[in-house]
Amino acid sequence: MIYFLAITVSIITLTVSYSYSGLGIILELLILILIASTITLTFLGIAVFIRHIRKKQLADRSLLMQIWKNFGNRNGMKLAVLLSLGMFLLVGPFNVWGNPGKAMVVITGGGFALAFFHRSIEMQVLEQNLRRIITGKELELPDRISDSTKEDLVSLAELHKQVEASLMTSINSERTKTELITNISHDLKTPLTSIINYADILQQPDLTEEEDKRFKDVLRRNAERMKVLINDLVFATKTNTGNLEIITSELELNELVLQCYSLVDREYAKKDLELVYESSHDAIIIESDGDHLSRLVENLFNNSAKYALNGTRVYVDSTFEDNKATVSIKNISEHALNISVEELMERFVRGDKSRHTEGSGLGLYIAGNLAELLGGKLLLSIDGDLFTAKLVLPAKSGENEPEPKDDSETPKKSNDSTDQKEL
């Protein structure tokens, strides 16, 4: 736009000079003053441009750079170059004073030439930065390109990052599908093989009534196991995609935790596990989805029931602080925790790599996804044989802050220095 404005000003000057020759002396004086200033700015711009070409940087406090920043930068420099060209043609050796048509053609052509030259520079910078975007390098945006070009490059870089992230998501999704087929095939193979074998045995005519009943019980248990695996897989997929309806209501956290424990107390009894439950408050009120939160906490209890050492205690603490409710479950592992916290966060992974326990390996994965969907987070930590799962949820403020229990009743905080990993 600045080029065409400069051309218009030059054409008007030529027209006025041609029509009113009596003003020639005044116009010539103005032209000389304008030439002096514009030529100075022109050579200043050339000096700075040459420095850029040679990859040399001017000191910020140098006189040349200070003049350039204050008088010659960007559009002002372009206008100065065009006016200098126009005035030079008027009084210079070309002497187009008396031929405005010729002057208009020359000035217009010069303006377009300058515009093309400037655009070629921007295209070169654009091409270089496109290569940098593709290779993941930082942009280099010199002052000689326009602000709009800079904005376009920044937007393009952001778009490239989004496309790259989307591509990585697709790649991970394909990898997950492969893992899904491999792991589910392995987990379903055992109960399915057992069902087929016992179905063949049940077809034998000489089975006693006791054998018939025992084999049918085995069939039922394996069918139930397959059902659990499939249900976990479907639910894990829903939590991963966020395709779950969240219906919140006011809940009392202590009551919910104890109700979830009642669903797994038989599993605790089988391994002679003792639950030690303490809470910092008599009532901790939260706003959450009761069904999904119950499944989350139940998964954490099931995890401790599977992997806790026989005859040990499982410590469960519920606390309220800074408008956040926390449920922490700690247990001593029965098997060596030869696995990292990062691996535990993956799907189809179990705490014992030798697969001593049954299950889909989706329990902690589902719990982590549910925690995020409910606006919270799940933190896991391993300290030797001590495994800790800590659920942090937003809690209602103000009305739900009952007086804390006495110090003798309040559980002591652990000085565990191990790092925690968010799931």
The per-residue pLDDT for range 357-370, each reduced to its tens digit, is 455 567 788 888 88
Phi, psi of 114 (to 5 degrees): -65, -40
Residue 364 pLDDT: 82
The per-residue pLDDT for range 247-262, each reduced to its tens digit, is 999 999 999 999 999 9
Residue 114 pLDDT: 58
Q: What is the mean pLDDT of residues 79-99?
A: 54
Share of the chain above pLDDT 70, in %: 56
CB atoms within 10 A of CB 90: 22
The per-residue pLDDT for range 18-45, each reduced to its tens digit, is 444 444 555 555 555 555 555 565 565 5
Domains and CATH numbers, the chain: 2-145 (no CATH), 152-241 (1.10.287.130), 249-422 (3.30.565.10)
Least confident of 180-184, 363-367, 403-407: 403-407
Nearest in space to 75 (alpha carbons), one of 115, 30, 121: 115
Is 57's pLDDT higher than 60?
A: no
Q: What residue has token string 């002052």? A: 143
Q: What residue has token string 């109960």? A: 191
Residue 257 pLDDT: 95
To the nearest 10°, report the CA torsion of 290, 296, 301, 302: 120
CB atoms within 10 A of CB 379: 20
Higher-pLDDT residue of 228, 19: 228
The whole-angstrom separation of Cα 134 and Cα 157 is 9
Residue 400 pLDDT: 46
Is 390's pLDDT higher than 70?
A: yes
Least confident of 197-211, 240-254, 408-422: 408-422
Share of the chain above pLDDT 90, in %: 20
Phi, psi of 57 (to 5 degrees): -105, 135
Residue 254 pLDDT: 92
Is 9's pLDDT higher than 90?
A: no
Across the chain, what does the average pLDDT equal?
71
Eight-class DSSP state of 137: P
Q: Which of the four pLDDT bands, split at 50, 70 and 90, describes residue 129?
A: confident
The whole-angstrom separation of Cα 93 and Cα 84 is 14
Residue 73 pLDDT: 46
The whole-angstrom separation of Cα 18 and Cα 304 is 97
Asked whether the beta carbons of 387 and 421 are under 8 A apart, the reply is no
Asked whether the beta carbons of 28 and 36 are under 8 A apart, the reply is no
Is 87's pLDDT higher than 60?
A: no
Phi, psi of 325 (to 5 degrees): -105, 140
The per-residue pLDDT for range 136-154, each reduced to its tens digit, is 777 766 665 666 667 777 7
Sign of dihedral through CA atoms 243, 248, 251, 253?
positive
Element housing 275 (H / E) = strand 274-279
Higher-pLDDT residue of 400, 394: 394
Asked whether the beta carbons of 337 and 381 are under 8 A apart, the reply is no
Q: How far from 277 is each of 174, 316, 319, 382, CA to CA, in Å?
A: 42, 5, 11, 20
Least confident of 271-280, 295-304, 360-369, 414-423: 414-423
Asked whether the beta carbons of 226 and 188 are under 8 A apart, the reply is yes
